[in-house]
Structure 1
Amino acid sequence: MTDDQPEEWFRNSSSTAWGFLSAGAAIAIIVIDAATGWHPETTAGGVLFALVAYAAFFRTKVGVSEGDFVLHHLYSTVRFPMAALESVSVGRTLGAYAGGRTFVSGAVGRPLREAVKGAKREHKPLSNHADFVEDRLNGLAQDARDRRGIKRDSDEQFALAEDVRRSWDWPLIGATLVVAVVFAVLLVL
């Protein structure tokens, strides 16, 4: 069911920086190889590295779209109604809880030093990205429940959690597999 839920996406800013560095490294490897005497296995390795970097750093994100809580993973997308979301907590990774299940995403997380502090650290949603995402998603879930008139931890909420949908990014999976096979064959030859 689509409701008046605003569309909002959250991405860890360091993932984007690492993504650009990885893409730049892959392009540099391919260009340097082409300039110094082309080796097909190096080019295939660079393309494979770029595809995996894209999946890991640019594709992964967490958000709300069309009334659903959405987790974009490396090669799949999980979505379920926002009102089914019981809670979100962010440690090294984001953990979303719905219907007795935990859905994890590495798109948003805390640095190791901050995650180790746990409850001892200050909660600063205005200056800390992970705190902001945690508070915002929990607030959006409560708003979605309020709009539908559903109480937290009710049977209605658990029934909504049964509407978990996973879809696969087959073009990206196919491209990665083809390049990986080409790379492996070129290494053996």
Structure 2
Amino acid sequence: MGEERPERFAPTSGRVMGLLGLTLSLGVVGIGLVDRDGIADWVIAACALIALLFWAAMLRPRVSLVGDDLVLRNMLETVTIPLAAVEELAVRQLLAVRAGDRRYVSPALGKSRRALRRPAGGAAARAGRTPTSPDRVHDVDYADFVENRIRQRMEDARAARGIRPSSQEQVALASEVRRSPAWPEVVGVLVLSAALVVTLVF
């Protein structure tokens, strides 16, 4: 399984609002940099910070399957979880995963409240249609498809390692979870926050 190509799943929400917010915020920054007398420096710094937050919160998050790992790219960090270590997985308004005694979430995959009231696992989800299919279906069907795909890969990974669910081996494997800070976003937030404070004070 480690030789398989990565599977990257499209986010189920936030893209349109994220792109709109990013575009508007960067537009104000651009105008402010061109017309130095028209927009205050603190407004430019605030809009730059808001643009970065739109990117980090709504556009950066993504769920992927890379080799034998589930990769959750979130706002300010990337979490890599061995699939065989996942004990519980649920897709509600967020994707929630439990490995060992820790719970990990991702906003990249989820269902709306309205979708949660519908019966789960429609025929389209079982057929494996994706957002690029000509006959695209409701987001809830795509979320069900991704959840089923992750569960399948979890079972395959456990079988390959000879690990039984809820066993000591599975609990021990949770120690291999890796968390990597999203340094460009972290540094950007710190720098722009400092710039906003400086422009407000001076």
2:165 pairs with 1:164: no
- Provide the residue aligned with 1:9 in structure 2: 8
- Provide the residue aligned with 1:143 in structure 2: 156
Cα separation, 2, equivalents of 1:69 and 1:5: 13
Structure 2 stretches lacking a partner, 5+ long: 130-136
2:136 pairs with 1:123: no
- Provide the residue aligned with 1:178 in structure 2: 191
2:85 pairs with 1:87: no
Classify the secondary structure of the residue corresponding to 1:29.
helix
- Provide the residue aligned with 1:108 in structure 2: 109
Cα separation, 2, equivalents of 1:78 and 1:112: 26
Structure 1 stretches lacking a partner, 5+ long: none
TM-score by length of 2: 0.81
The 8 Å contact of residues 18 and 54 in structure 2, kept in 1 or not, is answered as: yes
Classify the secondary structure of the residue corresponding to 1:62.
strand
The 8 Å contact of residues 60 and 71 in structure 1, kept in 2 or not, is answered as: yes
**Identity, % of aligned pairs?**
34
Cα separation, 2, equivalents of 1:45 and 1:69: 35
Q: After TM superposition, where is structure 1 displaced by more than 3 Å over at least 4 residues in a row?
A: 31-36
- Across the aligned residues of Structure 1 and Structure 2, the Cα RMSD in angstroms comes to 2.1
Classify the secondary structure of the residue corresponding to 1:102.
strand
Residue type of the alignment partner of 1:123:
G
Judged with a 3 Å threshold, the aligned counterparts in structure 2 of structure 1 residues 66 and 123 are, in CA distance, closer, same or farther, namely closer
The 8 Å contact of residues 79 and 166 in structure 1, kept in 2 or not, is answered as: yes
Judged with a 3 Å threshold, the aligned counterparts in structure 2 of structure 1 residues 13 and 110 are, in CA distance, closer, same or farther, namely closer
- Provide the residue aligned with 1:97 in structure 2: 98
- Provide the residue aligned with 2:79 in structure 1: 78
Residue type of the alignment partner of 2:152:
G
- Provide the residue aligned with 1:56 in structure 2: 57
Q: Which moved more, 1:91-100 or 1:151-160?
A: 151-160
Q: Which moved more, 1:47-56 or 1:36-45?
A: 36-45
- Provide the residue aligned with 2:132 in structure 1: none
Cα separation, 2, equivalents of 1:73 and 1:83: 21
